[in-house]
Amino acid sequence: MCQHAYMPVITVAATKGGVGKTTLAYELAAALGGVLVDLDWDSGGATRMWGYDPTSFKRAPLLDAVEAGPAVLPRPRRRRNQPDLIPSHPDLAASDIPDLVIGDCLSSWAKQWDRPVIADTHPGANALTDGAMQVADLVVVPVILAAREMDALAGMLNDFAGYRLLLVPNMVPPSPPRRYVERLAELAGDKPVAPPISEHRWMRRRVRRSALTLQPNPGRQVQRVAGELRTLARVVEEHCV
Ligand SMILES: Nc1ncnc2c1ncn2[C@@H]1O[C@H](COP(=O)(O)OP(=O)(O)OP(=O)(O)O)[C@@H](O)[C@H]1O
Ligand SMILES: [Mg+2]
């Protein structure tokens, strides 16, 4: 659990899709004992990963809570070996929630829950991601060491120069391509770069719904990635202070 006077809002965001936002948000929420708030209305968000089908529910807990105002606390869904979740809903796509409103809600919920809030986001610019980034104590940015992804990162670093960003090299192959490692160091400038998360190909085929960092009897494969993710969680905590 975070050792803060107040609980941080940690937003996981990237301009590019498929870079590992949801996986990192889900695992960070689990490792930090936080509440995962899914702001991605698409199926690429944390809600599906968690195993909650929002289309089978009429009500959207996140929308209801935002409409009620920051003082009203939504109740996180709970399941063993998974982070507590405020699920998303397809209706969020057309919701027109202003950035300031979602930002106020996230900050207020972190205080009232007295737990870190970890927000998963839809890729690219939109009001929900903007709001979650504006109030974040730290924006965690997964970075793939490849040409297009690095170009997207360059644009993001330019647009969000004043933000507290932590760059996380993600899905890093056993022999990382040197030119992209160097380009990342150049682009990062004074922004911190976290220790990398390796590429674990089996993760793409995974069907089991549980956080890697919360598995009670992990095998060797899981231990390896869980170790990397726990290290990342410690680095995230250090940068939230
Ligand atoms: N370290 C890793 N090694 C290998 N595969 C990974 C790793 N991290 C995530 N993945 C896989 O990469 C794919 C994309 O990850 P994820 O859904 O977290 O990305 P995303 O940025 O949230 O995508 P979207 O933009 O669609 O929301 C998933 O299949 C996931 O299992
Ligand atoms: Mg996602």
Per residue in 32-84, pLDDT (tens digit) is 999 999 999 998 789 999 998 888 877 789 999 999 998 889 999 999 999 99
3 burial class (0-12, 13-18, 19+ CB within 10 angstroms)?
exposed
Cα-to-centroid distance, 115 and ligand 2 (Å): 22
Cα-to-centroid distance, 197 and ligand 1 (Å): 12
Cα-to-centroid distance, 121 and ligand 2 (Å): 7
**Alpha-carbon dihedral 237, 14, 34, 117, rounded to 10 degrees:** 100
Coarse DSSP helix, strand, coil percentages of the chain, rounded to the nearest 5 percent: 45, 10, 40
Chain centroid offset of residue 151 CA: 21
* Alpha carbons 216 and 78: distance in angstroms, whole number: 17
The environment of the single-atom ion ligand 2, i.e. residues with CB closer than 5 A, is 21-22, 44
Stated pTM of the model: 0.96
Summarize the confidence of residues 219-225 as an average pLDDT.
96
Which residue's CA is the closest to the ligand 1 atom numbered 28? 204
Please calculate the CA angle 89-76-66 and round it to the nearest 5 degrees. Answer: 55
Which residue's CA is the closest to the ligand 1 atom numbered 18? 20
Which residue's CA is the closest to the ligand 1 atom numbered 7? 171
Tell me which of 16, 23, 199 to substitute to probe ligand 1's pocket, judged by most ligand atoms within 8 Å of the beta carbon. Answer: 23
Across 3-12, 102-111, 232-241, least confident range: 3-12
So what's the pLDDT on residue 197? 98
Cα-to-centroid distance, 171 and ligand 1 (Å): 8
In ligand 1, the atom with minimum distance to the C-alpha of 49 is 17
Summarize the confidence of residues 88-102 as an average pLDDT.
92
Structural domains present in the chain: 9-240 (3.40.50.300)
Which residue's CA is the closest to the ligand 1 atom numbered 11? 204
Give the phi and the psi of residue 71 in degrees, each rounded to 5.
-75, -20
* Alpha carbons 205 and 88: distance in angstroms, whole number: 23
Cα-to-centroid distance, 46 and ligand 2 (Å): 6
In ligand 1, the atom with minimum distance to the C-alpha of 19 is 21
Cα-to-centroid distance, 20 and ligand 1 (Å): 4
Place of tokens 């996140």: 62
Across 26-30, 105-109, 159-163, 206-210, least confident range: 206-210
Summarize the confidence of residues 191-204 as an average pLDDT.
96
